[in-house]
Every structure is written in C-alpha cells, then in structure tokens.
Copies of this chain bind each other. A is one copy, B any other.
Amino acid sequence: MRLPVAVDGMGGDRAPSEIVAGARNALEVGHEVLLVGDPARMGDTGPLEILAASEVVEMHEDPARAVRTKKDSSLVRAAEAVRDMKASSMVSAGNTGAAMAAALFRFGRIKGVARPAIATVIPVPGAVPTVLVDSGANADCSPAWLVQFAQMGAVFSRVRLGVARPRVGLLSIGEEPGKGNSLTKETFSLLDSGAAGADVEFIGNVEGRDVMSDAADVVVTDGFTGNVVLKTLEGSMKFAMNLVLGALAASGVDKSASDALIGSLLPLAAELDPETYGGAVLLGVDGVCVISHGSSSAKAIANAIGVADRAVADRLVEQLAAAVSPAG
C-alpha cells in the first residue's frame, strides 16, 4: 500500500485555504494525501484524510525553539507522521527554518551526511533546469560540506531531472581556480582532486550569471550565498516582468497586438514560475521533505505533493545515501 504525503495545512502565507485547495487538487489527480492541522481552522477539507494538530508555527518564529516547544504543531506532527511510517514524505510552505529543524530532528540525517542542504530547481528556458544547492540551510559552511552538497546535488539532478551525468560547478567570482574566497578556493581544490568521487563531474567555477543558463546542471554554494542568489533572481525577474507590462500599457499598442504578445510571454512566464517546480527539497535528511515557497498557491502545493511522491517512488533518499562519502 502506498503511504500518503503529509501536508502541513497551517504553514505558509496563504494557509490554510490555498494549502487545503492544493491538497484536494493533488488527491483528485491520484496522490494520497494526509492533511495535518487543526480541523476547526482548515475549512472544507472534503474527502481529505486529516491528522489533527492544535498548534501553528508562525512564519517568523525561531525555528529550533518552535520545533522544541510546539510539539502539537501541524509542522512537527507532519514530520512525525513520516518518522512513524504513517506518511511517505512531507510538504510544508511554512517557516523554512522550522521545516528543516522538524525534518532533521524527527527524521535524523542520512548516515555520513554532515549537514542537510536545500536543493532548489532554477528554471532555464529551453534547457534542463539548474539545481542550486545549498540555497539556504547552512549560512556558514566548511569545504567538506560543500563536497557533500556536490554529491547530493548530482544525485538530485539525475533522479529529479533525468540528467544522466550532471555537470557540477562551484559558484565563485571568476572562472579561474584561484578566484573566490577562502571557502571556494579550498572547496575547488577538494573537488578538483576528485574528493566527491567519480560520479561527480566537476566542471570548475561558475559565476552568478550561469545559474539561469545551461553552463552547469548543479551549482554548489554555501547556504548564505545560495539564498542571496535565489532572492536576487526572484527580485530581478519580477522586476523585469513589471517593466514589460508597464511598457506594454504605455506603448499604446492596440489590444489585439498586446494580447498576442502576452500570449507568447505566458508560456515563458510559466516556465520561469517557481511554482511550476513545486518547491525545494531538503537533501541529506533520512526522509523526503519538500519545502514550498512561503507564498505558495494551491497549484504550488499540488506540484510539491507530486514532487514528494515522485522522490519516494524514485528512492531518492536511498540513492543519496549511496552517493555520499562521509565528510572529513
């Protein structure tokens, strides 16, 4: 029997309504879902199976403290459902730090993994998306951790995106080996000498402009830099789209021309929309935890549930465990 995906019904800026709607949509297309939260606050949950949880971790709470003190929160109960084999995996659009902490404390780490890392899928129009890892779990990193991120990122690119032999780049500020800060220089030496093993094809340093390009399949970085890159990309793409829409309104082109242009931009916008990819995955914990954007809509949640289900079917955790060599 297939286990359901545990969904944190109370986490996210648009919870619970969009979360419940997304869970119902996923159920309708054949996913098994266990919705976790306070039944009195989640509205019409229809045929969804419910796991009651009375508390809510707020978006700006201290992650470790929230997980420690709110034992009956939807987030903690979702993680426990996975630990207790009542669910195959979990999805949350709530407090990212708390979701990581809940998964880490309740699942434990994969043997040999020093630190779990967040893998985010960055759309690249016309090409396979880029995996950015770590995109926010670990603000301060050691070179050995980054070597593991390379190993885990390569597995993720292969399993999730079907890249047979992912090219792994190290995010730095110049392509030459000597460019970067002390962390990237030491990491470069390790990766270049094959510390990540034969399954990681290290292609050297890449730069910020390469993240949205076909230059690499996996971009490895510390969680501080990765998160800054992610938010810079989000901001600039939103900014560019607003510019274009503003210019379109001001240009005086007639409605049919404007509609035609918007019609050809929409598929691109959909391809670039982070919601299409359904959220980031926490790599290195002993279970599947999908972390959706805080502003997730029903569509994003439904996609995240699909991602979680596929990761379980593809035995992502087992494949990560097989690929990681213990950090020095």
Contacts and interface: CB of A to CB of B under 8 A. Distances in A.
Interface of A: 60, 62, 125, 136, 139-140, 171-173, 176, 178, 180-182, 184, 207-213, 222-225, 227-241, 243-244, 247-248, 250-254, 257-258, 260-261, 263-265, 268
A243 B124 CA distance: 11
Given A247-B268, A265-B247, A212 B236 contact: yes
| Chain A binding surface SS class | helix
A259 to B, nearest CB: 9
A235 B251 contact: no
Q: What copy number does this chain have within its complex?
A: 2
Nearest to A180: B139
Contacts of A136: 173
Nearest to A209: B235
A139 B181 contact: yes
A222 B265 CA distance: 36
The 4 closest A-B pairs by CB, nearest first: A209-B235, A208-B232, A208-B231, A240-B240
A208 B180 contact: no
A235 B239 CA distance: 14
